[in-house]
Amino acid sequence: MGRRIAAKITGVAGYVPPRVVTNFDLQKVVETTDEWIRTRTGIRERHVVDKGVAASHLATEAAKKLLAKKNVAPEEIDLIVVASVTPDMMFPATACLVQERLGAKNAWGFDLSAACSGFVYALTVGAQFVGAGTHRKALVIGSDVMTSILNFEDRATCVLFGDGAGAVLVEPAESEDECILDFHNDVDGSGGCFLYMPGGGSLNPPSQETVEKKMHYVHQEGQQVFKYAVRKMAEVSCQLLERNGFSIKDLALVVPHQANLRIIRAMQERLGLDDSKVLVNIDRYGNTTAGTIPLGLRDAVNEGRLKKGDLVLLVAVGAGYTTGGMLLRWAY
């Protein structure tokens, strides 16, 4: 029996900035080809912010769309959790900026840093407050502007990411048929050295030296992350299914983190999971870090791939290493 949370997702929305950068555009910036990026990652294009647009702006747009769609007034929101590794600034938290712009004057909120697992972590936390009965409408948002920390001279990282945000509304669940059935989140800090941004924090505060040494960019050992992601995403998916008495065939849809299409397909192979049960949109957005899973849920809803009662699995691996998995019954 899993760790039930008496909470459900009752709405989802997303926002990506309008400007599209294709692989062909990147060919003009760095030594790469559309063919390499497509075959090695599955990405064709990504959305990129213009100067002056930050994580809070994308998060606010996604949240506004969600509230409009659900006909919920901003004052009804009582909690805002924002997952991001590219907040507008060190402080105040992105959640505070979003709260102000939305006019969600009865909400408290905070940011959470778990990289690509950020949305699953944030959903776990937001849902716990709702499940405990102390909160009735939580906004859980994943928002990242990865292009703000990309080194466009490093072809092995700059082609992978895009900017975007997604938001879900979490409300109390009435029964087991519509709740969060289980979650598994873990950390393996020994992987911290394979994906990180060394500059800008209290260890290496910004200075001419940190800029010259390119410490304000994503540093990654891609193959290490790749192998860990495939293994952990498959392992956690199995664990969650098994301990709740389900098998792969019971799943209606898996919404995995979108880091690399080959990671997703390798995970599927381990699980024996058919393409038809996996949401893939990396071709259009690249890796939007905390944005991928809510954007995936949005696309799944828009494409009519989710219906009430469906068994849905969310799974992600990210810098840290962090891993997040959640099994839920789709509630609408």
Ligand X SMILES: CC(C)(COP(=O)(O)OP(=O)(O)OC[C@H]1O[C@@H](n2cnc3c(N)ncnc32)[C@H](O)[C@@H]1OP(=O)(O)O)[C@@H](O)C(=O)NCCC(=O)NCCS
Given 150, 225, 255, 290, the residue binding ligand X (CB under 6 A): 225
**Calpha distance 17→25 (Å, rounded):** 17
Task: Identify the helix (H) or strand (E) that includes residue 52.
Answer: none
Site for ligand X in 62-101 (CB under 6 A): none
Q: Compare residues 183 and 194 and give the one whose CB is closer to ligand X.
A: 194
| Stretch in the footprint of ligand X (CB under 6 A) among 104-112, 216-224, 246-254, 307-315 | 216-224
| Stretch in the footprint of ligand X (CB under 6 A) among 126-134, 217-225, 267-275, 323-331 | 217-225
Q: What is the phi-psi region of residue 200: left when phi exceeds 0, alpha when psi lies from -120 to 50, beta otherwise? A: left
Given 5, 17, 41, 60, the residue binding ligand X (CB under 6 A): 41
The string of DSSP letters for 86-119 reads S-SSSSS-HHHHHHHHHT-TT-EEEEE--GGGHH
**Cα atoms in the 13 Å half-sphere on the side-chain side of 192:** 6
Residue 260 known to be catalytic: no
| Stretch in the footprint of ligand X (CB under 6 A) among 81-89, 204-212, 222-230, 296-304 | 222-230
* 260 interacts with ligand X by CB under 6 A: yes
The string of DSSP letters for 256-295 reads E--S-HHHHHHHHHHHT--GGGB---HHHH-B-GGGHHHH
Residue 158 known to be catalytic: no
Q: Tell me how many degrees the CA angle 194-117-139 measures, rounded to the nearest 5.
A: 150
Tell me the three state secondary structure of residue 220. Answer: strand
Catalytic choice (47, 96, 257, 281): 257
Site for ligand X in 272-331 (CB under 6 A): 287, 317-318
Interface ranges with ligand X (CB under 6 A): 32, 36-37, 40-41, 116, 155-156, 159, 195, 220, 222-223, 225-226, 229, 259-260, 287, 317-318
Report the catalytic residues: 116, 257, 287
